[in-house]
Amino acid sequence: MAKTKPGKKDLDSYTIKGTNKVVRPGDCVLMRPSDSDKPPYVARVEKIEADHRNNVKVRVRWYYRPEESIGGRRQFHGAKELFLSDHYDVQSAHTIEGKCIVHSFKNYTKLENVGAEDYFCRFEYKAATGGFTPDRVAVYCKCEMPYNPDDLMVQCEGCKDWFHPSCMGMTIEEAKKLDQFLCSDCSSEDDAKRSLNAFPVSPSLEAKVEAKRRKR
């Protein structure tokens, strides 16, 4: 174990008090808040060290919940969404309540079942300025909002864009029963194509000849 400061030593791991769960640098943990009414804080453990009295401290990098950010929670933020901040801190290891998993956004959307310990992160967050990286993400639907994995969306067979049922005037139950879906733009184009196929835009040559014969 590498020495850091006199009387301090780096630890490879820490066992959470009252459990058999082992925390190592790089793990994500739930930390007890000072206000018991609040949900636990989420942090990534960067380093574990003990002093000469064997008091264990952890250097952590905090995850922020959307409501803890300067801009607050927005419509597209998922219930389990976190932002990886540039806010580092040193805390007593005794405040660690449990472990959790912070997935990438892509991996989170592939989960069949989301457990209590599952979270996801798609943004890094600058705590001092409220800035995000990336500062732009893809938007979907008529409402032009980023994807919220908690919300059901339906894909248009025409343009392949994704839409919220409510924005399309449907209930979630109706959307779940759909075999296929065309958005309003694609369905109007589809109707126009059907009309063109059914009714020639200009009269056929035979019709013109027939009209001339009648005039004689």
pTM for the structure as a whole:
0.76
Q: Which CATH class is domain 152-195?
A: alpha beta
Task: Say which DSSP state 112 is in.
Answer: S
Structure tokens at 59: 């250097």
Amino acid at 123: F
What is the enclosing helix (H) or strand (E) of 118?
strand 118-125
Q: Which amino acid is at 64?
A: Y
Strand partners, 82: 121
- What confidence score (pLDDT) does residue 192 get? 52
pLDDT of residue 128: 92
- CATH topology match: 9-136 vs 152-195: no
Q: What is the per-residue pLDDT for 82?
A: 97
Buried-state track 118-149, b at ≥16 Cβ within 10 A, e below 16? ebbbbbebebeeeebeeeeeeebbeeebbbbb
User: What pLDDT does 197 receive?
Assistant: 46
Rg of the Cα atoms in the chain: 29
List all residues 6 or more positions away from 184 whose beta carbon is below 8 Å from its beta carbon. Answer: 168
How do the domains of the chain map onto residue ranges?
A: 9-136, 152-195
DSSP assignments along 156-205, one per residue: -TTT--EE-GGGGT--HHHHHT-S----HHHHHHHHHHHHHHHS-SS--H
Q: What pLDDT, on a 0 to 100 scale, did the predictor assign at position 4?
A: 53
What integer pLDDT is reported at residue 189 of this predicted model? 63
CATH 2.30.30.490 matches 9-136: yes
pLDDT, tens digit only, all 216 positions of the chain: 455 556 788 999 999 988 899 999 999 999 999 888 889 999 999 999 998 888 999 999 999 999 999 999 999 999 999 999 999 999 999 999 999 999 999 999 999 999 999 999 999 999 999 999 998 888 999 899 999 999 999 999 999 999 999 998 989 899 888 888 888 888 876 555 544 444 444 444 444 444 444 444
